[in-house]
Amino acid sequence: MPEFCGIELAHRVVNASGTFDAIAARRVYGDRLLEDFPFSAFVSKTITLEPRVGNPPQRIWETPAGMINSIGLPNKGLDGFLREDLPLLGELPVPLIVSVMATGHDDFKRMVAALDERGEVAALELNVSCPNVHSGLIVGEQPTETVALLEALRPLTRKPLIVKLTPNVADPAAVAVAAAEGGADAVSLINTIKAGAIDPATGKPGIGVGQGGLSGPAVRAIAVAQVRAVAAAVELPIVGMGGISSGADAAEMLAAGATLVAVGTESFRDPRAGNRVAAELSKRSERSP
């Protein structure tokens, strides 16, 4: 059984945050979802301190071998999540990782402290692809901001802290080193890559807010390179993701230095992609010593 930050997992395939809503999926597919849960741990959609309605449409745009999204983190806010969603996510048959984002240390601290008290939560993923309202800088783009955030949060919980790295920087490994210095237990990468499209029918951006993030097989080679660079720079376990849609893709990411892989966009095409990638991966490892 693979182990990740002290958590035992049934296999090496988890979901990318924001690409699988286990509560909605259970309403659609019923308890078959629980019997055949696609992931060995479940990563929640990012929550923020206050509720958010998300971005105006259009939120998605298909691209060659991928898609652009700009969803805008719609969520119920911390209180709504704790009250309504966490009890349901606690019923999942796998460990729960909660993704959190805030625009300042105080909000981040309130969320981490509140989630630290909940037994349903196995680990926290910090979504740092957001500006710090005090400095105006995107936390995850700056090693100094990243280390400062981790140093603020680390004393608040013993649960594993996973830092979700953005690919939209010249040197993601430098940010990973900063996360390690600040006391992170793991890093996950890549988040989506800044991208845009023009609607040929209107001549205007295909995404309502103008641009979004690219995901899918189109980004996989970039993800492999960044995971490899980060693995060379830090000792931390890595959750590798970006366009993984098969066992072969997962094996490539593990060979690049990942401990776990996450399936994201492929779940939109195949809701059981997580199970399938895990099965294909296990078949591969049986074949090779």
8 A C-beta contact, residue 153 and residue 127: no
Question: With CB under 8 A, what is the number of residues at the site for another protein?
Answer: 41
Backbone angles phi, psi at 43, to 5 degrees: -100, 125
Burial environment of residue 87 by CB neighbours within 10 A (0 to 12, 13 to 18, 19 or more): exposed
- Closest contact distance (angstroms) between CB of 224 and another protein is 18
Q: Is residue 122 within the footprint of another protein (CB under 8 A)?
A: no
Q: Among residues 159, 61, 149, which one has the least CA distance to residue 113?
A: 159
Residue 135: strand, helix, or coil: coil
Q: Is residue 93 within the footprint of another protein (CB under 8 A)?
A: no
Query: In terms of CB distance, is 37 or 108 closer to another protein?
Result: 37
- Dig out the tokens for 34 from the structure: 């629980």
Site pattern 195..224 for another protein (x: CB under 8 A): ---------------------x-x------
Query: In terms of CB distance, is 148 or 197 closer to another protein?
Result: 197
Among 107, 120, 181, 270, binds another protein (CB under 8 A): 270
Residue type, 157: T
Q: Are strands 66-69 and 212-215 parallel, antiparallel or unpaired?
A: antiparallel
Residue 189: strand, helix, or coil: strand
- Closest contact distance (angstroms) between CB of 268 and another protein is 4
- Closest contact distance (angstroms) between CB of 59 and another protein is 5
Site pattern 30..49 for another protein (x: CB under 8 A): x-xx--x--------x----
Contacts of 137 (CB under 8 A, 6+ apart): 131, 145
Among 63, 103, 168, 211, binds another protein (CB under 8 A): 63
Query: In terms of CB distance, is 4 or 20 closer to another protein?
Result: 20
8 A C-beta contact, residue 41 and residue 97: yes
Q: How far apart are CA 147 and CA 175, in angstroms?
A: 8
Q: Is residue 267 within the footprint of another protein (CB under 8 A)?
A: yes
Q: Is residue 114 within the footprint of another protein (CB under 8 A)?
A: no
Q: Which stretch binds another protein (CB under 8 A): 13-21, 86-94, 171-179, 226-234?
A: 13-21
Q: How far apart are CA 163 and CA 262, in angstroms?
A: 14
Q: Interface residues with another protein (CB under 8 A)?
A: 18-21, 24-25, 27-30, 32-33, 36, 45, 53-67, 69, 71, 74, 216, 218, 265, 267-272
